[in-house]
Amino acid sequence: MQMESRKFEPRLLLKDKRFWIASFLIVWAAGLQISSEGKQDACHNQI
């Protein structure tokens, strides 16, 4: 077993569907948090 085969390679990461799914979920969750914070600020400004 060679240690070189276990080194980190971005090319392999780009082919990994789990990486893309995780990235999408992180961005989506961050977007939801930002949009919800924006709505709360708008409500507070109206009161």
Report yes or no on whether pTM surpasses 0.85: no
- Decide if pLDDT at 2 tops 60: no
Angle CA 42–46–47, to nearest 5: 120
User: For residue 4, what pLDDT is reported?
Assistant: 60
pLDDT one-digit tens code per residue, 8-42: 777 877 788 998 999 999 999 999 988 888 877 76
Instruction: Kindly state the helix (H) or strand (E) to which residue 12 belongs, with its residue range.
Output: helix 10-15
Angle CA 3–20–13, to nearest 5: 20
User: For residue 36, what pLDDT is reported?
Assistant: 85
User: For residue 24, what pLDDT is reported?
Assistant: 95
Token pair for residue 24?
């999408």
